[in-house]
Structure 1
C-alpha cells in the first residue's frame, strides 16, 4: 500500500485521538511525528500516531517543524495554535485551524449545502434541524450514560425534560435565525442552572474569562468540540463560512454550529462534575476524549452534516 494512502486508511469519523500539547517541540524523525520535552537530564520523546489522530492543539511554549507539518497534512490532521489549556485558538487561518490541503475531497456535500444555503427559509430550516439533532443526541446519551445518571443528569428528570420539551416546541415556532439564537441561549442558560444545582455550585455565572474551574473547563471542552467540528467540515469539503445559525456574528461560524450538536450533551455536565471533584485540566480533557469515543461523537457529527447537505433537513 502507498505510504501516504496508508496514513489516511482510518476514516476521520473513526479516529480516536485529539492532542493538546504545550512546552514541547513537535518534529519529524525516522518517518514518524514526535514531540519531546527538555528535561534537566535528557530529552524525552513521545510518538504521535498521526493516522489515528483528528486534530492537534499546540499550546504555549510549543514549536513545530515544517517536516512535521508536512507529515500531519499527509495524514489529514488539522493543526490549531492555541493559548494555555487550549483556549483561545489564535492561528491565522480559516477559523483558527491550519487545514491540510487536498484537491481530492468530496464535492457532493458542498454542492448540496449550496443548494439551500442562499435561500433564507431553507437555511432557517437547516438551523432548526441542527437544534433538533442536538436535543435528540442529548436524550440518547443522557438516557443511557450511567456515570451521568449517577451525577443526576437524567433526561427523565422533570426539570431537564421540561427544558428540552419547551426548547423543542419553540424551535418549531421560530420564524427567524435571531429568534432561534435567543431560545438556544435560553436552553443553555437553563442547563447551566441545572448543572450548577446538581453539583451544588452556588452563584455560577458563565464568563469566558473567569478563572473558576467550571468556566475554565467549559472553555477547554468547547474548543475540543470545535476541533471535531472543524475536522468534520474539512473532510466533507464544506467551508466554515457557510453557517446556518451563527454566521451573522462570527467568521467561519459553521464550526460553532456543528459543535453545538454535542457541547451541551458531553462538555457542559462534565465541566461541572469535574469542577466539583477538583479534577485537573488533564483529567477533564481525558474525560472529554473518552466521552467522544464512547458516544461516537464524530460519527454523529458526520451523519448530521451529511443529512442536512443532502437536503433532508432543508427541503
Structure 2
C-alpha cells in the first residue's frame, strides 16, 4: 500500500463528518488500503468497511482489538479512538475522559492562543463558562421547539415548569461569582429536567445513578443516559482536538477532572438530545443498539457537532479583532482546499 498525506483523508471537515462508531467483539485491521473490522460468524469471518474519512470517533468495547497498521491509518484520517466497556461506558483511562488522539503537529494554533488569552484570568474564564451555559440552553430551546418527535412525546420547551426552572437558572448564572456556584446551578436545572422527562415518559420512580454493575440494575434510562453522554464526550473530544485545545484547560469542570474541557463542550448538547431520548427509548424498551442509532441520528439531524465547533470558536475568538478572524478564516479555507 502506498503512503498518503494526512490531508488526503481530510476533505470532509470534522464538523461535517457523519459517523461515530461503537464496536464490540471484533478485530479492527488494515486491509488493502482500508480500515475494516472483522467479526467471527458460524461458518465464515465477515469483514465490514469503516469509512474513516467520514468518521469522527471510534469507541472499542468488549472483546475488541486493533492493529498498529489500522491505528496509523486512523491517525492519518484524524479519527479519535477510545477504549470502553460494554454499551460504550465507561471509557477506560482511570476515571477520566481520555482519548487516543491522532498526532498532528500542523493543527491550528490560533484557537489555543485565543483560549489561553482568557483562561489564566479567573474573571474571563468564569465569563466563558457562563457563555457555555447560555449556549447550552439556546440549543435546548432550538431542538425542543423544532423536533416534532420530542414534542409528540411531551417535551415542550414552553412548559411552565421548564420556564420557571430556566428563570431561576439564568438569574443564578448571571449572579454567580465562582465555577462552584455555576456547577450547583447546573445541577439544580438538570435535576428539574430529569424530573420533567420522567413525568413525560411515566417514569416517576426514576433516580439518577451513574455507575452500573452486574449486582445492581440501575434501569434502562440510566444506562441510556450514560451511553449517550459518552457518545457526546466523543464529539466534544473531537471538537477540542481539531481546534488544538488541550482537554485539561476547562472553564467549568476542570477542578475535578483532567479532561474537564470535554465535559464543558459535551454539556452543550446533552440536555437537548441525550436526556429526552434516553427516557423515550427506555419507555419503549429499546435495545442499546436501537438507542445508539436514535441518538446518533439526532446528533446528525440537529447538527450537534457543528454547534459544538461554532460555540467553542466563538468563545475562543471573542477577543480577536475582525482582521484577525478574517485571516483565520482565510487560512482555514486554504487548508480545506
Q: In the alignment, which residue of structure 2 is the partner of 1:28? A: 30
- Equivalence for 2:291: 284
Over residues 36-94 of structure 1, what are the superposed CA-to-partner deviations in whole Å (9 max), with x where a residue is unaligned? 11112100110000000000000010000000000000000000000011111004798
RMSD: 1.5
Matched-pair contact (CA < 8 Å) for 2:195–2:204:
no
Q: Does 1:271 align with 2:273?
A: no
Are the aligned partners of 2:24 and 2:63 in contact in 1 as well (CA < 8 Å)?
yes
Query: Quick one: which of 115, 138, 141 aligns to 1:139?
Result: 141
Displacement over 6 Å in runs of 4+: none
1:113 to 109, 112, 115: 115
- Structure 2 partner of 1:124: 126
> 1:49 & 1:159 partners in 2: Cα distance?
44
Listed as ranges, the gaps of 5+ residues in structure 2 are 213-217, 321-337
Q: 1:170 to 1:260 in 2, by over 3 A?
A: same
Change (3 A) 1:79 1:86: same
Give, in whole Å, the separation in 1 of the partners of 2:312 and 2:56.
17
Give, in whole Å, the separation in 2 of the partners of 1:79 and 1:92.
Answer: 16
Partner of 2:314: 307
Match of 1:71 in 2: 73
Residue of structure 2 equivalent to 1:90 = 92
Would the alpha carbon gap of residues 190 and 183 (structure 1) be closer, same or farther in structure 2, given more than 3 Å must change?
Answer: same
- Whether the 8 Å contact between 1:81 and 1:96 is mirrored in structure 2 is no
Could you say which residue in structure 1 is the equivalent of 2:55?
53
Q: Matched residue of 2:268: which SS?
A: coil
**Structure 2 CA distance, aligned partners of 1:141 and 1:295?**
7
2:170 aligns with one of 155, 168, 171: 168
Shift, 1:169, TM fit: 1.9
| Residue 224 of structure 2: aligned partner | 217
Q: Which residue of 2 aligns with 1:206?
A: 208
C-alpha displacement of 1:96:
2.0
Q: Does 1:187 align with 2:189?
A: yes
Q: Distance in 1 between matches of 2:37 and 2:93?
A: 20
Q: Quote the residue 2:249 is aligned against.
A: 242
Question: Does the 8 Å CA contact 2:96/2:257 hold for their aligned counterparts?
Answer: no
| Alignment-derived partner of residue 260 in structure 2 | 253
Q: Distance in 1 between matches of 2:91 and 2:60?
A: 9
Q: How far apart are 1:4 and its partner, in Å?
A: 3.6
- The gaps in structure 1 that reach 5 residues or longer are none
Contact 2:98 2:259 in 1 (8 A): no
- 1:159 maps to 161
Aligned length in residues: 312
- TM-score (structure 2 length as normaliser): 0.90
Question: How far, CA to CA, are the matches of 2:283 and 2:94 in structure 1?
Answer: 36
In the alignment, the residues of structure 2 paired with residue 295 and residue 166 of structure 1 have an alpha-carbon distance, to the nearest angstrom, of: 27
- What TM-score does the superposition give when structure 1 sets the normalisation length? 0.96
Q: Tell me the residue number matched to 2:39.
A: 37
Structure 1: how far apart are the matches of 2:171 and 2:148?
Answer: 28
Q: Using the alignment, how far apart are the partners of 2:6 and 2:313 within structure 1?
A: 26
SS in 2 for 1:97: coil
Instruction: Note if 1:101 corresponds to 2:108.
Output: no
User: Is the contact made by 2:248 and 2:258 (CA closer than 8 Å) also made in structure 1?
Assistant: yes
